[in-house]
Amino acid sequence: MTSLADEARIVFDNLTDRGAGLFHPNLRLGVAGLSRAGKTVFITSLVHNLVHGGRLPLFEAQASGRIRRAFLEEQPDDAVPRFQYEEHLRAVLTDRLWPQSTRAISELRLTIEFESASGWSRFFSAGKLSVDIVDYPGEWLLDLPLIDKSFEDFSRESLERARLPSRAAIARPFLDLVEGLDLHAPADEPTSLRLASTFADYLRACRADRTALSTLPPGRFLMPGDLEGSPALTFAPLPLEAGTLYEKGSFGALHARRYEAYKTVVVKPFFREHFARLDRQILLIDALQAINAGPEAVRDLELALSDILSCFRPGRSSWLGSFLTRRIDRILVAATKADHLHRGDHQKLENIVRRLVQDAMTRANFSGAQTDVIAMAAIRATREASVSDRGETLPVIVGTPIHGEEIGGERFDGDTETAIFPGDLPDDPGRLLRDSQPAANRQPPVSFVRFRPPRLERTEDGLLLSLPHIRLDRALQFLIGDRLA
Q: Would you tell me how many other CB atoms lie within 10 Å of the CB of residue 64?
A: 12
Task: Kindly report each contact of residues 184-187 with a partner whose C-beta sits within 8 Å and lies 24 or more positions away, as own/partner.
Answer: 184/246, 184/247, 184/250, 184/251, 184/252, 185/250, 185/251, 186/249, 186/250, 187/249, 187/250, 187/251, 187/253, 187/254, 187/255
363/113: higher pLDDT: 113
- pLDDT greater than 80 at residue 254: yes
- Of the candidates 12, 14, 11, 47, which has an alpha carbon nearest to the alpha carbon of residue 131? 47
* 234, amino acid identity: T
- Of the candidates 120, 91, 93, 100, which has an alpha carbon nearest to the alpha carbon of residue 38? 100
Q: Would you tell me how many other CB atoms lie within 10 Å of the CB of residue 35?
A: 22
How is the chain split into domains, by residue range? 4-142+270-380+470-484, 146-266
In angstroms, the Cα distances linking 142 to 7, 133, 287 are 21, 20, 17
Round the CA-based radius of gyration of the chain to a whole number and report it. Answer: 24
Q: What is the dihedral of CA 354, 358, 362, 364, to 10 degrees?
A: -70
- Of the candidates 245, 240, 250, which has an alpha carbon nearest to the alpha carbon of residue 187? 250
Tens digit of each residue's pLDDT (9 = 90 or more) over 255-272 = 999 999 999 999 998 888
Record the pTM: 0.87
Tens digit of each residue's pLDDT (9 = 90 or more) over 193-216 = 999 999 999 999 998 867 778 888
- pLDDT greater than 80 at residue 440: no
Q: Would you tell me how many other CB atoms lie within 10 Å of the CB of residue 471?
A: 20
Stretch (H or E) spanning 333:
strand 330-335
Q: How far apart (Å, rounded) are the C-alpha atoms in residues 319 and 114?
A: 23
373/386: higher pLDDT: 373
* 356, amino acid identity: L
User: Of the CATH numbers 3.40.800.20, 3.40.30.10, 3.40.50.1000, 3.40.50.300, which one belongs to the domain with range 4-142+270-380+470-484?
Assistant: 3.40.50.300
Q: How far apart (Å, rounded) are the C-alpha atoms in residues 228 and 246?
A: 27
Tens digit of each residue's pLDDT (9 = 90 or more) over 220-230 = 898 887 788 88
Cβ distance 467 to 45 under 8 Å?
yes
Q: How far apart (Å, rounded) are the C-alpha atoms in residues 32 and 26?
A: 19
Q: How far apart (Å, rounded) are the C-alpha atoms in residues 262 and 260?
A: 5
Peptide bond into 137 cis (omega under 30): no
Q: What is the dihedral of CA 151, 155, 156, 157, to 10 degrees?
A: 100
Q: How far apart (Å, rounded) are the C-alpha atoms in residues 328 and 351?
A: 23
Tens digit of each residue's pLDDT (9 = 90 or more) over 164-182 = 988 999 999 999 999 989 9
Mean pLDDT throughout 307-313?
75
